[in-house]
Structure 1
């Protein structure tokens, strides 16, 4: 009887992944259609510098569904491995929400012409990712989706990748090594 429950849970998770990907694809298609009808699909220059290459927003139609598929798969696997699945799911939703809020604040600051505020939000996101596991897939997805309607999908993914990389380096390498060194330094010296 137990395998039926696992298969049923796995099929529900697969259906949820498909719905997430479809929702993201439809939202991006609507976004690109709106841009097309209002002057054409926009391109954004790297670092907002016209001397640097521009990235076309149309890439979001490929990138965002792929990112949603990858992120939802990572989340499903992490939740399935967790002892307390409800807690893992709440943590995933919270990570998505916090990252999405950071993305919305960064986009809003940029739209208002407040580069100083945008820099503050970006550095705050880095700081938060050092405290919390900002490298998780749901955080990357939330951040990118929140910023897509202002910057397209590629530039936010580049920013999210740097933030996630710093967070992963801190949480998976620096903190464990520092913890081991701290425990070693606290051991009594045999004598």
Structure 2
């Protein structure tokens, strides 16, 4: 298999993600200093500097694009691009809602994640990468990565355990209702 197109796409994606986070960090540095975020927005908990994103985003984009390649090969099907795009939009909307202090809508969107985790394989690399990149503007890279990994874990458990169980139950009920007629 010819890996050259994938390698170019991978390097391009890592370069774009790296430039994105470094540009954000330079913007913050020039405009009053790089922000640190406290865990759970509590001052008594440790703060995590956005500077960590300069290391985390390139590494994360490199590793996650490797996972994508192992799964699908040297081309990106529409589903991967759509999953990445949807997670970017989801992350942007969450960030905007947080900045506008729309905590009710923010909570509602977060409560939708288990349902989305049943319907879609949110544990895949493209979802995590899009989510982290989108939320890095508002929260830096570390906190979205932690939240994203929790979403990945939740989605994996739901998608691999509850989804097959619900599918089996649906098929069983469909057969029963078909025999009753």
TM over 0.5: yes
TM-score by length of 1: 0.83
Look up the match of 2:67.
74
RMSD of the TM alignment (CA)?
Answer: 2.1
Q: 2:126 aligns with which of 138, 142, 153?
A: 138
Shift of 1:59: 0.4
- The structure whose RCO (Cα within 8 Å, separation 6+) is larger is 2
List 4+ stretches of structure 1 deviating above 3 A: 176-187
**Number of aligned residues:** 175
Shift of 1:50: 1.3
3-state SS, counterpart of residue 154 of structure 2:
helix
Q: Distance in 2 between matches of 1:20 and 1:27?
A: 10
3-state SS, counterpart of residue 41 of structure 1:
coil
TM-score by length of 2: 0.88
The unaligned stretches of length 5 or more in structure 1 are 1-5
Q: Distance in 2 between matches of 1:23 and 1:51?
A: 35
1:40-189 to structure 2, matched below 5 A, reads 40-80=33-73, 89-176=77-164, 179=167
Shift of 1:93: 0.7
